[in-house]
Amino acid sequence: MNAGKPSELRTVPSRWSRIGTGLLGVLVSPSVLVLAGFIALRALVVEARFIPSGSMLPTLQLQDRLLVDKLSYRFRPPERGEIVVFHSPYRFAPIGHNVSDPFWGQCTLVALPGLAQLLRHPKCDAYIKRVVALPGEQVVVDPNGEVWINQELLREPYVDHRCDNVERLCRPLSGQVPPGHVLVLGDNRPNSQDGRFWGFLPTEQVIGRAWLRFWPPETSGPLPPAGGAG
């Protein structure tokens, strides 16, 4: 008999186990966890957006930076006067029926720095407008851009620009807001591609509520209440 020390059996890690261990180490690294947390926060809670056009003047200026609240509408529908960010009407309205779909993942890649212009697609855009009419309401938008709800004029102190001359008439609209929809318009009525052109907005297409302006510093803070009333 062998009176020496008992032999020891050692397991040699396989190539795949070493790869798995290395991959696990990367996935639980602080940088990856921070990135995953950021992506989850942006997808579920809040995200930053900037204003690329003048359709919401004077409330929102070009290049303003906003935080969009993505939680509120999980618990309640949009309210009149709120400014909402939503998916492009080319996704859900008749204007997009003849527009080809983006390739898989394109709308995600567009959000990455440096790829916005390279991979831009009309169905990947996001729009920002103000809610003016709610489900079930009878709404009329006249040629001057004024809004009538159930035959009563909507008070809109946030609108400075109206179509008040013959050469710049706004497109009128008349109809009842369907269930699960709202009517959204830009504050700058003569220069806004909004519900007058593509119809009512399904609330399921709303990304979130424009909540806080964080740039420029001199105008930063929560967006003021609309003050509109039927």
Candidates 134, 171, 170; CA nearest to 154 is 134
From the list 7, 129, 174, 192, the catalytic residue is 129
Q: Which two tokens stand for residue 66?
A: 């906003």
70 is catalytic: no
| DSSP type of residue 169 | P
Q: What are phi and psi of 164, to 5 degrees?
A: -105, 20
Collapse the DSSP code of 96 into the 3-class scheme (helix H, G, I; strand E, B; otherwise coil) and give the result: helix
Name the pairing type of β-strands 138-141 and 147-149: antiparallel
Contact between residue 176 and residue 139 where contact means Cβ atoms under 8 Å apart: yes
From the list 29, 55, 70, 192, the catalytic residue is 55
Query: Where are the alpha helices (H) located in the chain, listed in sequence order?
Result: 15-27, 30-44, 106-110, 195-198
55 is catalytic: yes
Candidates 166, 116, 109, 110; CA nearest to 143 is 166
Active site residues per annotation: 55, 129
